């Protein structure tokens, strides 16, 4: 399959509105700049890089050519340069990837992903991680990654940062991370450029290996995703929303598939591929309109 190289691609062209609003809410919370400062002071980024270098296998075109080629192609399609370093880490029983590093990003992929995913599906999972660079959100993504460790460190300080975390910043951060997955899925779709590939990859992220991906299973999954996407969440219980966004073990692939299908069906995906009729974030906000809630500051508890 010949895929289109999206030269000059701007992440604003495919950014999910939930992502945009959640990030704006997070950035406006008191204490965020102090947290970012502490991450820098503790040298956490350097530590994360050393963990990859000291514990995992660095991927090259020589040792794992298929894996490396899929990674290179993903970066070319999404117009991201220079090429980040890529590492392979041990199996965890499910597909897992990560990206860390603001100045010099490092991408990791586990053995399960390498064994379960085909060449086209690798583009999808790599696209999800490369979007963090493309969207220029690595600093917040990395903050979410290290939050459990960082919180323990900060709780022992006298700066009151631990209290800020407990007062809601942590929930807002994890909520943004969840919303950012919608944007990452769109970038992944742009990388693989095949909705069937996107669908099977999401199902594998849910834990289904190839032998279970029959036509009936895939069709039922798509029907479930469309059904989920048609729901109105405005009246959902607030506690359920908090728990759903702060549970790191949940992949929410059905919800994410539903949002991705809505984007493709709307024609916006094709516009990005053809690079025409692209909206700026300002134009998108005007189309959506501004509610009283947004004027006061977007509330992650009522984001759906």
> Among 44-48, 52-56, 170-174, 286-290, where is mean pLDDT lowest?
286-290
Which of 156, 160, 106 shows the shortest CA–CA distance to 133?
106
For the four alpha carbons of 201, 225, 182 and 253, in that order, the dihedral sign comes to: negative
Cis peptide before 180 (omega within 30 of 0): no
For the four alpha carbons of 48, 53, 57 and 60, in that order, the dihedral sign comes to: positive
CB count in 10 Å sphere of residue 165: 19
Q: Please say if the pLDDT value at position 294 is more than 50.
A: no
Percent of the chain past pLDDT 90, that is, above it, reads 56
Q: Which residue has the tokens 């090429």?
A: 83
Per-residue pLDDT tens digits for 60-76? 999 999 999 999 999 99
Q: What are 235's two structure tokens?
A: 């009246």
Strand partners, 85: 106
* Cα end-to-end distance, the chain, whole Å: 36
Pairing of strands 106-110, 85-89: parallel
Per-residue pLDDT tens digits for 241-281? 555 555 556 678 998 999 999 999 999 999 999 987 666 55
* Spatial separation of the C-alpha atoms in residues 263 and 196, rounded to whole Å: 14
Length of the chain equals: 304
């Amino acid at each position: 399959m010949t895929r289109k190289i999206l030269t000059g691609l701007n992440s604003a062209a495919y950014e999910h509105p939930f992502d945009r609003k959640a990030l704006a809410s997070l950035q406006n919370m008191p204490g965020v700049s102090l947290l970012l400062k502490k991450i820098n002071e503790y040298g956490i980024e350097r530590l994360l890089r050393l963990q990859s270098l000291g514990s995992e296998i660095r991927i090259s075109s020589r040792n794992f050519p298929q894996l490396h080629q899929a990674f290179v192609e993903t970066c070319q399609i999404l117009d991201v340069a220079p090429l980040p370093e890529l590492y392979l880490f041990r199996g965890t029983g499910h597909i897992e990837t990560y990206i860390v590093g603001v100045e010099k990003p490092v991408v990791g992929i586990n053995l399960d992903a390498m064994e379960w995913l085909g060449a086209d599906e690798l583009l999808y999972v790599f696209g999800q991680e490369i979007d963090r660079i493309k969207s220029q959100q690595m600093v917040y993504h990395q903050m979410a990654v290290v939050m459990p460790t960082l919180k323990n460190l900060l709780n022992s300080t006298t700066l009151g940062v631990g209290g800020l975390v407990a007062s809601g910043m942590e929930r807002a951060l994890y909520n943004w991370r969840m919303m950012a997955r919608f944007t990452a899925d769109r970038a992944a779709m742009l990388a693989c450029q095949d909705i069937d590939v996107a669908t099977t990859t999401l199902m594998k992220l849910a834990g289904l290996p190839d032998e279970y991906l029959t036509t009936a299973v895939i069709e039922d999954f798509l029907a479930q995703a469309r059904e989920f996407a048609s729901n109105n969440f405005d009246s959902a219980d607030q506690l359920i929303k908090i728990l759903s966004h702060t549970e790191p073990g949940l992949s929410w692939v059905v919800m994410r598939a539903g949002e991705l299908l809505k984007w493709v069906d709307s024609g916006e995906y094709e516009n990005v591929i053809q690079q025409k009729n692209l909206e700026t974030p300002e134009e998108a906000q005007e189309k959506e309109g501004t509610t009283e809630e947004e004027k006061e500051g977007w509330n992650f508890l009522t984001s759906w």
